[in-house]
Amino acid sequence: MVRTPLVAGNWKMNFDHLEATYFVQKLVWLLRDAKFDYKRCEVALMPAFTALRSVEVLVEADNLKISYGAQTVSVTSQGAFTGDVSADMLAQLGCRYVIVGHSERRKYHPEDDANIVDQVRAVLAAGMQPILCVGESYEERRQGIELEFAVGQVKDVTRDLSQEEVGKLVVAYEPVWAIGTGMVATPQVAQDAARAIRAHVESAFGRGAAQTMRILYGGSVSSHNAQELISQSDVDGFLVGGASLDVEEFATIARLT
């Protein structure tokens, strides 16, 4: 089965709505100039909440082939939860994806596995796709338990999901030691983790779900390492942080994927 690669830019807390608009316009020009084939590789942007409406307007007005989504979501649907944004609100803005369980959310906010499972459910119920982030810390890698750890995180989140729900997940293997550090995983490390995650999904949910599931690599991806990483058979694209803030670099990564 051929999986369409996905290159998703996680802008984190960068770019206001004007900067986001400029970025999208420039990205589309660059990709048009490069005769980029959106059917060969999907491109997605994950702006801050405040820029989502601007991105939506632009994508709709110009019928752009860019997908977009949010960086987190509330587990509740409505009510007295100051500062939260619900999955339905995001779906109404045309979001296709929501990043769930990013290591920065796990670190700086009280997001544990139970909360992450609820986010996944909320995203799926609203008709969007979660990009579930998993990955070990440097310490777990040092102890040699990195695969067990990353697969364990996938197991914990998917345990009670149906086969159909799991089929809609995108998993991003993001070793914490590689995020924002410039220490990219070797292609073999990324492949081993992606393969282990896919093997677990196959044994728990069947070959169909495993073969459809896109597994991304994230952690210091750049135009210098994207080509080698994507040549690995179980790596289906990238979640790009820092390099997604430079439009030319991001366009190059998309072209190489």
Q: Is 225 annotated as a binding residue?
A: no
Residue 168 annotated in ligand binding: no
Should residue 249 be labelled a site residue for ligand PEP when binding is judged by CB under 6 A?
no
Distances (CA, A) of 20 to 49, 67, 81, 108, 216: 11, 14, 27, 24, 23
How many residues touch ligand PEP under the rule CB under 6 A: the total is 13
Are residues 44 and 78 in contact, defined by beta-carbon separation less than 8 angstroms? no
In the list 47, 130, 167, 218, the residue contacting ligand PEP (rule: CB under 6 A) is 218
Does 221 bind ligand PEP (CB under 6 A)? Our answer is: yes
Q: In this structure, are residues 62 and 90 in contact, taking their beta carbons and an 8 Å threshold?
A: no
Give dist(CA 202, CA 116) in Å, integer.
22
200 is catalytic: no
Residue 11 known to bind ligand: yes
Q: Is residue 6 near ligand PEP by the rule CB under 6 A? A: no
| Beta strands, E only, the chain | 6-10, 42-46, 67-70, 97-100, 129-134, 170-173, 214-218, 237-240
Q: To 5 degrees, how large is the angle CA 8–CA 65–CA 23?
A: 60
Q: 46 vs 209, which CB is nearer to ligand PEP?
A: 46
Report whether 12 belongs to an annotated binding site: yes
Structure tokens at 104: 């920065």
The Cα 222–Cα 113 span in angstroms is: 30
Taking CB under 6 A as the rule, does residue 242 contact ligand PEP?
Answer: yes
Q: Which of 31, 89, 194, 240 binds ligand PEP (CB under 6 A)?
A: 240
Which span sits near ligand PEP by CB under 6 A: 87-95, 114-122, 136-144, 215-223?
215-223
Which residues lie closer than 8 Å to 107 by C-beta, 6 or more apart? none
Rounded CA gap, 240 and 179, in Å?
Answer: 9
47 binds ligand PEP (CB under 6 A): no
Q: How far is Cα 39 from Cα 5, in angstroms, rounded to an integer?
A: 9
Nearer to ligand PEP, 98 or 240 (CB): 240
- Contacting residue, 54, 220, 232, 252, with ligand PEP by CB under 6 A: 220
Residue with smallest beta-carbon separation from ligand PEP: 241
The answer to whether 230 contacts ligand PEP (rule: CB under 6 A) is: no
- Which residue, 135 or 167, is less far from ligand PEP as judged by CB? 135
Residue 179 interacting with ligand PEP (CB under 6 A): yes
Question: Residues at the annotated binding site for substrate?
Answer: 10-12, 180, 220, 241-242
Task: Give the residue numbers annotated as catalytic, written as ranges.
Answer: 102, 174
